Every structure is written in C-alpha cells, then in structure tokens.
Amino acid sequence: MLKKFLMVLGKSNPKNGEMELLEFVLDLACEKVRNYCNIEKIPRELENTVVRIAADLWRTEGYGGEEKPKEVTAVKRGDVSTSFASVSACEDVQSDYLSKYKAQLNSFRKLRW
C-alpha cells in the first residue's frame, strides 16, 4: 500500500525524514478503517480506499509542509473581495475523513460483541 500511497501523492523520492511521516499517515488511515469496520486486517479490496483516505489526511492536515486548504465563505464581485474560513472552521468540516468512504467501508463492517 505504501507504494500506491507514494504514487498518489506524486512522491517517488521522499525527502529525508518524510518517509516516516508518510508511513505514519498510512498507518493512521489503516487504523481508522480497522476501527470503523471492526476488523483485524485490511482486505485487499479495501487497499485503494485506505490509500485515498491516507491521501486526504496528508493533504487536509498539511503534513509535509503543504498548506491546509481553506474554505471560501464569501465572495464580493464589486471591488473584488474574497473571505476564507478560519483554520478551526475548516477542521470542523473535515474532521470525519471516513464520511466520503462509508459506502465502500460498510460492505466490510462487522458487529462487535
């Protein structure tokens, strides 16, 4: 999965120390999926979904020095004015990374006893 994750992010040659951070984000995505689905091991069929979740985490959390995306809250056309949401407001919206992937994950979800 790490090779796919690097390919999705376009990082064929990670910088010094960046590989550990990439592995951490991928492990975090795996952990989120395992906890949501109540499974011990990620099935092969979910690997691409886990990579996409990890890429979302990498981009939205600003790992690797990339700037966090900001949400546009207001646009004014006359005298051109654009307002962006604060970082905390964006984090509230993006706090649940699994919400976009629930359709794929629910097929693998198991009950906990």
pLDDT digits 0-9 by tens, 64-90:
665 555 555 565 566 666 566 655 444
Domain ranges of the chain: 2-106
Check residue 79 and give its pLDDT: 64
Cα-to-chain-centroid distance, residue 112: 25
Decide which of 74 and 102 is more confident: 102
Answer whether residue 113 shows pLDDT above 80. no
Helix ranges (H only) for 10-95 are: 18-37, 47-61, 87-93
Answer whether residue 54 shows pLDDT above 60. yes
Closest CA to 44 of 55, 57, 33, 60: 33
Closest CA to 83 of 66, 67, 70: 70
Quick: pLDDT tens for 14-53: 887 788 899 999 999 999 999 999 999 999 999 999 999 9
Please count the other Cβ atoms lying within 10 Å of the Cβ belonging to residue 2. Answer: 13
Decide which of 97 and 11 is more confident: 11
How far is Cα 42 from Cα 50, in angstroms, rounded to an integer?
9
